[in-house]
Amino acid sequence: MNISPSLMTMDLDQFKEQITFLNDHVDSFHIDIMDGHFVPNLSLSPWFIEQTRKLTNKEMSAHLMVTDPSFWVQQLIDIRCEVICMPAERVNGIAFRLIDQIHDAGLKAGIVLNPETPVSEILPYIDLLDKVTVMTVDPGFAGQRFLVNMLDKITELRQLREEHGYQYRIEMDGSTNKKHWKVIHDAKPDIYVIGRSGLFNLADNIHSSWEMMVTEFEQETGQKFA
């Protein structure tokens, strides 16, 4: 199980405790960066990634929800953020340039598909991607309605990868919790972004929350969490 906790939803009062614990249990951290324009909210920043880096050496994956990805991509390159995921809706005309810029810096390039955006939108450059993130909620706020039909994109992306030998990993982001574990797991994403409803709000400490998340996953899917 490749779990990528969404740090936007963590309890900042327990920042050090939560990051230290998760560092031993996850492969990556998911950092939402919002500019208040692409989505009507403000969230984390490259500075936050730098602070988190003091407590962990795990992969950082930045999810850009911004109107000007070029501005943010260079900042994330400067701090060596390992994975930079850009909104498909904002890279038309500059996608190849930005992907090359990220790869030339020795980092990984990803694309995020919002619910209304089809996989066909990214076909011109899909072979260059290291990750494709499928949003299963409307972006910008935690706790949005789960859009189950978006899981079909995961199936489509997996079929394209198998047919053409693409190397991208498939990530799903949105409402990963007890209510949806079964359908999400059946869709077979490579990476599960998990936030408030599926992890951080399950108990008053990260140790108990993690144990509850594992229990819920195993009860709902009938599979061992491994």
Annotated binding site: 30, 32, 63, 140-143, 173-175
Q: Tell me, yes or no, if 190 is annotated catalytic.
A: no
Task: Name the catalytic one among 35, 100, 173, 190.
Answer: 173
- 85 pairs with which residues across the strands? 63, 110
Binding-site annotation: residue ranges for a divalent metal cation: 30, 32, 63, 173
Residue 139, CA atoms < 13 Å, CB-side half-sphere: 32
Q: What is the DSSP letter of 88?
A: G
Distances (CA, A) of 36 to 45, 88, 108, 159: 12, 17, 25, 35
Query: Which of 32, 130, 152, 186 is an active site residue?
Result: 32
Judge whether 35 counts as a catalytic residue.
no
Q: Which has the closest alpha carbon to 223: 192, 193, 196, 202? A: 192
Element housing 191 (H / E): strand 191-194
Alpha-carbon torsion angle 118, 119, 125, 131, nearest 10: 120
Binding site residues for substrate, as ranges? 63, 140-143, 173-175
Active site residues per annotation: 32, 173
